[in-house]
Structure 1
Amino acid sequence: MGIIPLCFKTREDAETLGLTGQELYTIDLPNSVSEIKPGQDVTVITNNGKSFTCTLSLCSK
């Protein structure tokens, strides 16, 4: 378990997506850590069935 930085897509935010902050989120990441890349799009799914795409905001060395 941890924190992963995500950015909403252009013209999307919590309000436009109808998010309240009370949701639980599942982030659909690749199975292998080596497949996770900065700037990659991922699907986020809420516990109430909403899904949307975010961009991974990771830094790499």
Structure 2
Amino acid sequence: MFTTGQLVFAGVFIVVFVAVMIYVYRKDLPLHKKYYKGSYWILLAFLLFIGVLLAIKLLTKD
């Protein structure tokens, strides 16, 4: 389905992309800690909300 060159390109692209994203995140980490303090609570509330919706869906299934 894919040629060897395409697979090599995709693999190199993914590795480089992830490495750059990690580098950029680490560089901005002090800013994240300063401006996004407490954002884990929002993530937790969002995941809890999704869990409640999933539970309702599974419990009301015929």
TM-score where L is the length of structure 1 = 0.21
Q: Which has the higher strand share?
A: 1
Q: Which has the larger radius of gyration?
A: 2
